Amino acid sequence: MSAVTWVYIVIEVMSALGLIFLILMHSGKGGGLSDMFGGSAGSAAQGSTVVERNLDRITVTVAMIFAFTTLTLDLRLQ
């Protein structure tokens, strides 16, 4: 394998770990165990903040990088 393939593999692994971290950082949208026990009142009043929107944008960007490297590695390793 060439050095470029190894670079794509490193980017793939880093973006996968980044996606896991970013997805876990998101707040729940309801329907979980906290709603069963009355925890929905606090989350309903919270709303969407600038931080959450930026986290969404970063997550989408990392997901696009992950998808691009996945397709590129698939084509390179055929």
Asked whether residue 16 is assigned to any structural domain, the reply reads: yes
Asked whether residue 66 is assigned to any structural domain, the reply reads: yes
Short-list 27, 24, 23, 19, CA closest to 48: 27
Asked whether residue 3 is assigned to any structural domain, the reply reads: yes
* Axis-axis angle for helices 3-25, 50-76 (nearest 10): 150
- Using the predicted structure, report yes or no on whether residue 47 has a pLDDT greater than 90: no
Asked whether residue 28 is assigned to any structural domain, the reply reads: no
The tally of domains found in the chain comes to 1
Q: Which domain holds residue 56?
A: 1-22+50-78
- The stretch 65-73 carries a mean pLDDT of 96
Q: Alpha carbon 24 to chain centroid distance?
A: 8
- Using the predicted structure, report yes or no on whether residue 32 has a pLDDT greater than 80: no
Asked whether residue 5 is assigned to any structural domain, the reply reads: yes
Q: How many angstroms separate the CA atoms of 69 and 19, rounded?
A: 13
pTM of the predicted model as reported, rounded to 2 decimal places: 0.73
What one-character-per-residue DSSP string does 3-48 give? HHHHHHHHHHHHHHHHHHHHHHHSPP-S-SHHHHTTTHHHHHHH--
| Confidence tier at 50 by pLDDT (50, 70, 90) | confident
